[in-house]
Amino acid sequence: MKKNLTVNLELFVLEKKITTESLKEKDQFDLKNSQFIGSLNRTPVYKFKLKSEDGMFIAQITKILTENESEKLKEKFFI
């Protein structure tokens, strides 16, 4: 039996050059080479890339993560 469940969808930008100490109000970032991760209920589920169309950013899924990949990302980036 299929069920519709409500989940929290979060999109993370994984950028090694950005730290809490380097962030300032009104900072701008070039995200061309950043890694983007989507998580459901705080569990990383997929990688995606951003596309810009008609002034909107669209997330396109590029890979569904394995459990092992997901756990490694949670540990590495404290998700």
pLDDT tens digit string along 27-50?
A: 887 777 788 999 998 899 999 988
- Which tokens is 35 given? 């890694």
The H or E element spanning position 34 is none
Q: What is the number of residues in the chain?
A: 79
The predicted-structure confidence for 54-73, as pLDDT tens digits, reads as follows: 989 888 999 999 999 999 98
- Which tokens is 58 given? 């669209």
Short-list 67, 16, 15, CA closest to 46: 67
Task: Tell me how far apart the alpha carbons of residues 69 and 23 are, in angstroms, rounded to a whole number.
Answer: 28
- Which tokens is 48 given? 């995606």
pTM score: 0.68
